[in-house]
Chains A and B, each alone.
Chain A
Amino acid sequence: MTAIASDTRASRQPISFAFLAQAILIANSFIMLYPVVVMVLSAFKTTGEIFEHPFALPDFTQVGNFAKVLGETAMPTYFANSILVTGTSVLLILVLGTMAGYAVARYESRTNTFILLFFLAGLMLPLKLAVIPLFILLRDLGLLDSRWSLIVTYTAIGLPSAVFIMAGFLRTLPSELEDAARIDGASEPRIMWSVMLPLARPPMAIAAIQNAVPIWNDFFFPLVFIQTDARKTLPQGLTTFMGEYTTDWGMLFAGLTIAAAPITLLYIALSRQFIQGMTAGAVK
């Protein structure tokens, strides 16, 4: 579709308009990328160099800031916590979301409408506004100030959208697949695990990205739930770090660069999947 459409789109454009469009796009991409470039360049400079020559290219062999961030600060701990929390949450979201989505999509039942409405309500309600009762609930469960407090919260937030993505996809699979396996005497769990789920990898990837990015980037829930430095995730740890090195701008930019690097590089490598996953809720 794109290939055919592109000649009709490009045609019949006055030259001046095409020129203006190109100028706006280049200016916009510059505005989007230049701040990120300055952040990375400044990370290679000393604070004095940043203040004296903010726009100059640095000496790229000067990696002292990075070494200090990784060697002398708690940044590696924050990283490990973020990976642990994001990974466990996404795994739980996929497991629970696939279970409910599979039941709703593959088994006729009078309760299906109720189950879907239940998860639809969860999709609409911003859990952020229920943070006080959530705080008290987690305290009563003894989970406050633990990484589990974040994992259960993120799983609860991400679960409804995963149920809808998985149910929407699983519903489109032909029932002949199941029927053939049933005739061969396969059990229901076996059909789900060996026949249907191997086909459901694409929607799982979408659900994973859609949830992993906001979880990785979240700041609000750690701010409320976590006090112990050793359990902080990256965005929250970053506020601690930024507070410690307020005047050492070389360190600040190196910290920001290290914090931004994994997700930015992953995005550049998998931009199509990222865009598809992150806009999945808004694009039908």
Chain B
Amino acid sequence: MQASPQQTRPLKHHLWVAFLVVPPIVFMSLFVVYPILSAFAYAFYDWKGLARGEFVGLRNFREVLFGATMAPVVWNAFLHNVYALIALMIIQNGGGFILAWLLYKEPFGFRFHRVAVFVPVVLSTIIVGFLWKLFLNPNFGIINQALYALGLDSLAKPWLGDSSTALGALILANAWHFVGFPALVYLAGMQRIPPEIIEAARLDGTNEWQLLKNIVWPLVAPSTTILFTLLFIGAFNWFEIPYVMVGLDGSPFGTTDVLGLVFYRTAFGNQSASIQNFGMGSALATILFLFIVVFASMLTLWLRRREIQF
């Protein structure tokens, strides 16, 4: 259909199309493709501060995965990322699914509830992190103040200072921040189910649980695929909430350390030890990148298989 201008004035037309596509492609090549390709290359070199040294093969990778100083820190952090992923899968995505189902029925005030659940999502993670850090303050935070007011003094804790509760507190703050996202994505997914299907099931006397399990859950599978994949990527890139709430070292005693913090400390140093190691940082980023790409693709393919066309 657009063949005629190409035939009549080819050069002018080609120049116009080139004018449209070349700047965006050059921009992407310079600021996305080139950095990502270099990221792999950098991992094979020794770095002296900001200057690239000699080629060292797989040494940085060996150091990150099996070295005496790096490996224990990396694996400890990796475990916390896995905990966060599993907990957020249940609390954030599972909670979002339940909220979506309740909103889908359009009960009294559902418009208000739909707007309310998304309020924290629009806030900066930095605001959310600081807000919960103040609320969880052992002496003056409203969590402990509320417990004192209710006479539950024994339950009050230094939440972020206690090894047994710190990671859980970060996970809950994250869930508070983002639960509205899966809720509204699932809600949109449910609204795409033809209402006749749900009506027919109801006429057959299907109870609520069977309806959710056998009809709604399989039919929102496309939303599940996207939400689980995004959470997977997000959980292994987790950085801002831990950085703001417990600091760069994952205090107390590394019990909240995650790979994002390890990467930042390795690549850009921290206050206590201002050593930059771009080689090790690049190796860690490359490993994390390959891990995310491989597992996120597998997860997506596996979840896609259970999607039903309707």
Q: Quick one: which of B72-126 are within 8 Å of A by CB?
A: 98-99, 102-110, 112-126
Assess the A130–B36 pair: CB atoms within 8 A. yes
A130-B38 contact given A29-B113, A137-B31, CB 8 Å threshold: yes
Q: In the assembled complex, which residues on chain B have CB atoms less than 8 Å from the CB atom of A216? A: 124
A169 CB to nearest chain B CB (Å): 16
Nearest chain B residue, comparing its CB with the CB of A178: B2
Which one of B18-26, B63-71, B162-170 is at the A interface? B18-26
User: Considering only CB atoms and an 8 Å cut-off, how many residues of chain A contact the other chain?
Assistant: 105
Cβ of A69 within 8 Å of any chain B Cβ, yes or no, is no
Q: In the assembled complex, which residues on chain B have CB atoms less than 8 Å from the CB atom of A29? A: 112-113, 116-117
Cβ of B159 within 8 Å of any chain A Cβ, yes or no, is no
Cβ of A189 within 8 Å of any chain B Cβ, yes or no, is yes
Nearest chain B residue, comparing its CB with the CB of A124: B293
Cβ of B61 within 8 Å of any chain A Cβ, yes or no, is no
Assess the B127–A238 pair: CB atoms within 8 A. yes
A33 to B281, CA, bound (A): 39
Provide the B174-196 mask, 1 if CB < 8 A to any CB of A, else 0.
00100011001100110100010
Assess the B131–A129 pair: CB atoms within 8 A. no
How many residue pairs link A and B with beta carbons under 8 A? The number is: 267
Nearest chain B residue, comparing its CB with the CB of A39: B131
Q: In the assembled complex, which residues on chain A have CB atoms less than 8 Å from the CB atom of B181? A: 278-279, 282
Q: In the assembled complex, which residues on chain A have CB atoms less than 8 Å from the CB atom of B222? A: 284
A51-B140 contact given A163-B24, A182-B5, CB 8 Å threshold: yes
Nearest chain A residue, comparing its CB with the CB of B140: A51
Option from B28, B176, B191, B243 in Cβ contact (under 8 Å) with A159: B28
Option from B35, B120, B124 in Cβ contact (under 8 Å) with A234: B124
Cβ of A133 within 8 Å of any chain B Cβ, yes or no, is yes
A26 to B218, CA, bound (A): 28
A259 to B120, CA, bound (A): 13
A26 CB to nearest chain B CB (Å): 8
Residue of B5, B142, B233 with highest tally of chain A CB at under 10 A: B142
A275 to B191, CA, bound (A): 15
**Chain A interface secondary structure, helix, strand, loop or mixed?**
helix
Assess the B2–A260 pair: CB atoms within 8 A. no
A120 to B195, CA, bound (A): 34
Provide the A39-56 mask, 1 if CB < 8 A to any CB of B, else 0.
100000000001100110
Cβ of A109 within 8 Å of any chain B Cβ, yes or no, is yes
Option from A100, A136, A139, A256 in Cβ contact (under 8 Å) with B131: A256
Cβ of B11 within 8 Å of any chain A Cβ, yes or no, is no
A279 to B98, CA, bound (A): 18
Cβ of B217 within 8 Å of any chain A Cβ, yes or no, is no
**A26-B109, A137-B38, A264-B119 provided; 11 other pairs, C-beta below 8 A?**
A9-B106, A22-B107, A22-B109, A25-B109, A51-B140, A99-B21, A103-B21, A152-B31, A188-B5, A189-B16, A279-B188
Option from A38, A107, A159 in Cβ contact (under 8 Å) with B27: A159
Q: Quick one: which of A2-51 are within 8 Å of B by CB?
A: 2, 4-6, 8-10, 12-13, 17-18, 21-22, 24-26, 28-29, 31-33, 35-36, 38-39, 50-51
B60 CB to nearest chain A CB (Å): 12
Assess the A279–B36 pair: CB atoms within 8 A. no
Assess the B126–A219 pair: CB atoms within 8 A. yes
Q: In the assembled complex, which residues on chain B have CB atoms less than 8 Å from the CB atom of A2? A: 106, 191
Q: In the assembled complex, which residues on chain B have CB atoms less than 8 Å from the CB atom of A96? A: 23-24, 27
Q: In the assembled complex, which residues on chain A have CB atoms less than 8 Å from the CB atom of B130? A: 238, 242, 252, 256
Assess the A99–B23 pair: CB atoms within 8 A. yes
Q: In the assembled complex, which residues on chain B have CB atoms less than 8 Å from the CB atom of A164? A: none
Cβ of B134 within 8 Å of any chain A Cβ, yes or no, is yes
Q: In the assembled complex, which residues on chain A have CB atoms less than 8 Å from the CB atom of B112? A: 29
A91 to B79, CA, bound (A): 41
A203 to B102, CA, bound (A): 30
Which one of A57-65, A194-202, A266-274 is at the B interface? A266-274
Cβ of A66 within 8 Å of any chain B Cβ, yes or no, is no
A81 to B244, CA, bound (A): 21
Q: In the assembled complex, which residues on chain A have CB atoms less than 8 Å from the CB atom of B219? A: none
Cβ of A165 within 8 Å of any chain B Cβ, yes or no, is no
Assess the A126–B127 pair: CB atoms within 8 A. no
A220-B24 contact given A17-B208, A125-B36, CB 8 Å threshold: no
Assess the A35–B135 pair: CB atoms within 8 A. yes
A255 to B267, CA, bound (A): 30
